[in-house]
Structure 1
């Protein structure tokens, strides 16, 4: 996985946290829920990328 993907996923997570905070501050449950969903989506993407990284490491270890 590239560094760009990691940064993009982290950016999405942080944007979700900000959206959730704004929703909470403005008493907007829809915006708050959207922020939570954005964070969850970014975490799922990151987990998938982590699995890819682990698979690459295993492949590299087996071929060495």
Structure 2
């Protein structure tokens, strides 16, 4: 079970780094926001899901 939590946290950290770099670049680039809007929103939804799933599964570890 702890390996699953560690993999979820790793995925959360990697996705967080990608979002921290990617969202400002997308917003600063002219015309890129309209092209990448759905990808950004989907990535944010996945990030929120990872936070919730990691928190729920972490509550089962003693």
Aligning the two structures, in what range does the TM-score lie when normalised by the shorter sequence?
A: 0.5 to 0.7
Runs of 4+ in 1 over 4 A off after TM superposition: none
> Any unmatched runs of 5+ in structure 1?
21-31
Instruction: Compare CA radii of gyration and give the structure with the larger one.
Output: 1
Distance across 1 between alignment mates of 2:19 and 2:40: 5
> Any unmatched runs of 5+ in structure 2?
1-11
TM (norm. structure 1) is: 0.56
TM (norm. structure 2) is: 0.57
- Cα RMSD after superposing both structures: 2.0
Equivalences, count: 51
